[in-house]
Amino acid sequence: MKSLIFNVIPFTILLALLSLFTPSSAFSAEVGDTISEDLQKQLNIPKGQVGVVDFFASWCLSCAKEIPDIKKMIKQDSQKKMHVVGIDVDEELDEGIAFQEELSIDFPVINDVEQKIISEFSPVAMPALYYIIDNKIVGKHIGAVNKIDEKIINDLEKLGVKVL
């Protein structure tokens, strides 16, 4: 009996640890989660503004389709209630910058070449968009959305932020 306990328990623990460290244990950021302090500094969302964090890449066709709509939406936000931050997840910096220039992106962009920021959010698909208020994720959109500008404005209205 004793030998059974001494043999079985360590292996059961090992088995449990293995299951913990397998990739399936990766989780994505959900509504209600608070972003880390490092991320807060990087995103630099001013107090009183809603952070709209948009993840994109040069190879993501849907992302390229959404960006002009986001630019249009920023222009409509005359009261500056939003702070849009783009996160370019291209592994090649040159490709990312060329893509940003091609689309004439005029909002702040962080080049996440090492893909550390997106790993913290771990969205299940691209493009991914998150709303952040007081360092807390209050909403998200995963995957391509038609007329994303209208969708964001509606979402923010539901959150009590009137953009227009």
Partner 1 sequence: MKIKLLLIICCFTCSACSIVPVKPWQKGTLADETMRFGGPNPMIKKFDEHIYTSKEGSKGGGGVSGGGCGCN
Binding residues for partner 1, rule: CB under 8 A, are 4, 7-8, 11-12, 14-15, 18-19, 21-23, 55, 57-63, 89-91, 115, 118-119, 122-128, 143-144
CB of 31 to partner 1, least distance (A): 19
User: Between 15 and 164, whose beta carbon lies closer to partner 1?
Assistant: 15
In whole angstroms, how far apart are CA 163 and each of 49, 54, 86? 11, 18, 19
Cβ nearer to partner 1, comparing 91 with 134: 91
Question: Cβ–Cβ contacts within 10 Å for residue 97, how many?
Answer: 16
Q: Please identify, using beta-carbon distances, which residue of 22 and 78 lies nearer to partner 1.
A: 22
C-beta closer to partner 1: residue 68 or 123: 123
Calculate the CA 60 to chain-centre distance: 15
Distance CA 156, CA 102 (A): 29
Task: Give the CB-side neighbour count of residue 16, counting CA atoms within 13 A.
Answer: 6
Nearest approach, Cβ of 121 to partner 1 (angstroms)?
Answer: 9
